[in-house]
C-alpha cells in the first residue's frame, strides 16, 4: 500500500514515523492536527496495538481526538494531564530558528496551548515547509465572532506599522459561511508574503481587541523532523544545534494505510 503513496505523502509518513519512535511507554503526549500529524497518530496507534505501548494522548482538535480513539490511543483532556512529556505536530512553515506558522487546519489555538504545556515540541514536516522567511503561507489569527469586522479593521491598521510585504486580511470561509473553530471562533488569514520580525508581530497581534491567538509559534518548537519521499529523515535540534540524518523503511502494516 505504501508504494501507492505520492512522494509528498511518503515524506510526511517517514517524518511522522520517526517522530512517533520518540514516544516512550508511560508518556503523556500532545497529538497535533493536520495531514502530517494524522500519520503520526496512526503510527502511534500501530505501536499501541503491536507493541503494547501505553500512553495518554491529549488531542489538539476534535478530529484528532476521533482518530486517536479509532486507532486505540487513550485520550485525556489537557486539564487532566496537567503537563505533557512531548507534543508532536505539523507546521505550515518553519524557518532556520524553528519559528513556525501553524493554523492551516484551524486548530492553532489548542495546538499552541498544548505545545506550551509540554517539556518538548517536535514538529514533523516535508521539505516544502522550510522557508527562509515566514509569511508566504497566510498567517491565521483566531478572533471572536462578535465584531469580527471591527477586529479585522484594527488588524489591518496595526499591520501598517509592521515589517511585512503584504497586508491583505480575509475571513476564512467554510462554504458560504465563516469557518468556525472548535472553540466557536472565526479565523482571519493575513496574507503577509514575508514577515520581517515574527516575534514582534506575534506580540502585537495578541494586543488587538477581539484577537484570541495567532499562528506564530515563537520559541516553542525544539526539534523538527523533515521527511523525504525516498525515506530519508533529517532531525534538527535548535537547542543542541545538531543535525542528524536517518532513513526509514516503508514496510508498514495494512492497518496503517487502510484509510489512505
DSSP code for 129 = G
Same domain, 38 and 114: yes
Quick check: is 189 in a domain?
A: yes
Judgement on whether residues 124 and 146 belong to the same structural domain of the protein: no
Task: Kindly state whether residues 154 and 75 are assigned to the same domain.
Answer: no
The span from the CA of 72 to the CA of 192, in Å, is 40
Provide the domain limits for residue 71. Answer: 6-129+219-257
Same domain, 124 and 237: yes
* Same-domain pairing of 116 and 237: yes
Residue 184, marked binder: no
129 is in an annotated binding site: yes
Q: Do 44 and 69 sit in the same domain of this protein?
A: yes
Q: What is the pLDDT of residue 250?
A: 64
Whether 181 and 242 map to the same domain: the answer is no
Same domain, 208 and 224: no
- CATH code, domain carrying 81: 3.40.50.1360
34 annotated as a binding-site residue:
yes
List the beta bridge partners of residue 125: 226
Based on the domain organization, do 94 and 169 belong to the same domain? Answer: no
How do the pLDDT tens digits run along the chain, 260 residues long?
455 889 999 999 999 999 999 999 999 999 999 999 999 999 999 999 999 999 999 999 999 999 999 999 999 999 999 999 999 999 999 999 999 999 999 999 999 999 999 999 999 999 999 999 999 999 999 999 999 999 999 999 999 999 999 999 999 999 999 999 999 999 999 999 999 999 999 999 999 999 999 999 999 999 999 999 999 999 999 877 888 898 877 665 545 555 44
Residue 140 belongs to what H/E stretch? strand 139-143
- The pLDDT tens digits of the residues spanning 145-197 come to 999 999 999 999 999 999 999 999 999 999 999 999 999 999 999 999 999 99
Question: pLDDT value at position 255?
Answer: 55
61 marked as part of a ligand binding site: no
Rounded distance between C-alpha atoms, residue 76 and residue 3, angstroms: 35
The structure's pTM equals 0.94
Using alpha carbons only, how large is the chain's radius of gyration in Å?
A: 18
| pLDDT (0 to 100) of residue 238 | 82
Q: Is residue 34 part of a domain?
A: yes
Residue 167 and residue 108 share a domain: no
Is 243 contained in some domain? Answer: yes
Q: What is the pLDDT of residues 178-190, one digit of tens each?
A: 999 999 999 999 9
Q: Is 24 a catalytic residue?
A: no
Q: Give the β-pairing of 100-101 and 177-178.
A: unpaired
Question: What pLDDT, on the 0 to 100 scale, is given for residue 242?
Answer: 83
Q: What is the pLDDT of residue 1?
A: 44
Alpha helices in 172-249 (DSSP H): 198-205
Could you tell me the CATH number of the domain that includes residue 153?
3.30.70.260
38 vs 63: CA distance, rounded Å: 9
- 191, 79: one domain: no
Same domain, 14 and 125: yes
What is the number of other CB atoms lying within 10 angstroms of the CB of residue 175? 6
Catalytic residue among 9, 46, 93, 111: 111
Query: How many domains, in total, are found in the chain?
Result: 2
Amino acid at each position: 500500500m505504501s508504494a501507492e503513496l505520492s512522494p509528498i505523502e511518503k515524506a510526511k509518513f517517514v517524518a511522522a514515523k520517526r517522530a512517533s519512535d520518540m514516544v516512550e511507554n508511560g508518556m503523556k503526549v500532545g497529538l497535533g492536527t493536520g495531514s502530517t500529524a494524522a500519520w503520526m497518530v496512526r503510527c502511534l496507534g500501530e505501536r499501541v496495538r503491536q507493541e503494547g505501548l501505553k500512553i495518554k494522548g491529549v488531542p489538539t482538535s476534535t478530529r484528532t481526538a476521533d482518530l486517536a480513539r479509532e486507532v486505540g490511543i487513550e485520550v485525556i483532556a489537557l486539564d487532566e494531564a496537567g503537563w505533557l512529556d512531548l507534543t508532536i505536530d505539523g507546521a505550515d512553515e518553519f524557518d532556520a530558528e524553528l519559528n513556525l506558522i501553524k493554523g492551516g487546519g484551524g486548530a492553532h489555538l489548542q495546538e499552541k496551548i498544548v505545545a506550551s504545556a509540554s517539556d518538548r515540541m517536535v514538529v514533523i514536516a516535508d521539505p516544502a515547509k522550510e522557508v527562509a522567511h515566514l509569511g508566504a503561507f497566510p498567517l491565521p489569527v483566531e478572533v471572536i465572532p462578535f465584531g469580527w469586522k471591527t477586529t479585522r479593521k484594527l488588524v489591518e491598521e496595526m499591520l501598517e506599522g509592521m515589517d511585512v510585504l503584504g497586508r491583505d486580511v480575509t475571513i476564512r470561509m467554510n462554504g458560504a459561511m465563516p469557518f468556525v473553530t472548535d472553540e466557536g471562533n472565526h479565523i482571519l488569514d493575513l496574507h503577509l508574503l514575508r514577515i520581517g520580525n515574527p516575534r514582534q508581530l506575534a506580540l502585537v497581534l495578541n494586543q488587538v481587541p477581539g484577537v484570541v491567538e495567532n499562528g506564530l509559534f515563537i520559541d516553542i518548537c525544539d526539534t523538527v523532523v523533515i521527511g523525504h519521499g525516498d525515506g530519508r529523515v533529517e532531525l534538527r535540534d535548535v537547542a543542541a544545534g545538531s543535525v542528524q540524518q536517518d532513513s526509514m523503511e516503508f514496510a508498514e502494516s495494512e492497518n496503517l494505510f487502510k484509510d489512505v
